[in-house]
Amino acid sequence: MCRTLAAFPTTCLERAKEFKTRLGIFLHKSELGSDTGSLGKFDWGSKHSKESKSFSEDVLGWKESFDLLLSSKNGVAAFHTFLKTEFSEENLEFWLACEEFKKIRSAAKLSSRAQRIFDEFIRSEAPKEVNIDHETRELTRTNLQAATATCFDVAQGKTRTLMEKDSYPRFLKSSAYQDLASQASAATTFTSSCSPAEPSHT
């Protein structure tokens, strides 16, 4: 039951649904995969206001640092959606590919995956060519001759720096994120004033 009903005319459940809808619009057609950006794992029912509040805090945390954004699956999906509007999603996709690449333990798989990443993101005229200098491109090409988990580190680091200094500030200033952050702030305040398990007293 909501104790501040006059200030918040909607119920806790309706407010949570509204926030979920707003997030769904923001992440519309994200193509990072079923795990990233998936809303399925979040239960926005009235019995789960704690999860709702936690997720709201996650959204608000994206503006605290680029690291917090990249450590959040929904943050990555939201940022990816924004980058697509700027036609620069290849930078984030390369960074994510490198993160997955580092988890590979098989030497044979490392070599084949490294070549695939190079062909997709690094080589000149690659279908998703990232914006790195010639020296870094050639260094990465050399690293592929004996592929290790760190062979993309320099290129990945430069791409990350580019996103943090260029795209990330614009993402935070975008109307889409500003609107979502406003909803998250309201949801955090709202859920703190709700106590779903509180019994009614007569």
Tens digits of per-residue pLDDT, 148-196? 999 999 999 999 999 999 999 999 999 999 998 998 888 776 555 554 5
Whole-model pTM above 0.85?
no
Both tokens assigned to 24: 């769904």
Both tokens assigned to 133: 């200098």
Q: How far is CA 21 from the centre of its chain?
A: 17
Both tokens assigned to 153: 């580190």
Tens digits of per-residue pLDDT, 106-140? 988 999 999 999 999 999 999 999 999 999 999 99
Q: How far is CA 94 from the centre of its chain?
A: 14
Domain limits, the chain: 12-35+43-82+168-192, 88-166
Residues 82 and 176: beta-carbon distance below 8 Å = yes
Compute how many other C-beta atoms are within 10 angstroms of the C-beta atom of residue 25.
Answer: 12
Q: Which amino acid is at 126?
A: A
CATH 3.90.226.10 fits 88-166, yes or no: no
111 by DSSP, 3-state: which?
Answer: helix
Tens digits of per-residue pLDDT, 47-105? 344 445 577 889 999 999 999 999 999 999 999 999 999 999 999 999 999 999 999 99
Give CA–CA dist 82/89, Å, rounded: 8
Angle 81-170-74 (CA atoms, 0-180°, nearest 5)? 35
Helical residues (DSSP H) of 144-174, grouped into ranges: 153-162, 168-173
- Beta bridge mates, 194: 2
Instruction: Please list, in sequence order, all residues whose beta carbon lies within 8 angstroms of the beta carbon of residue 56, skipping any fewer than 6 positions away.
Output: 19, 184, 185, 187, 188, 191
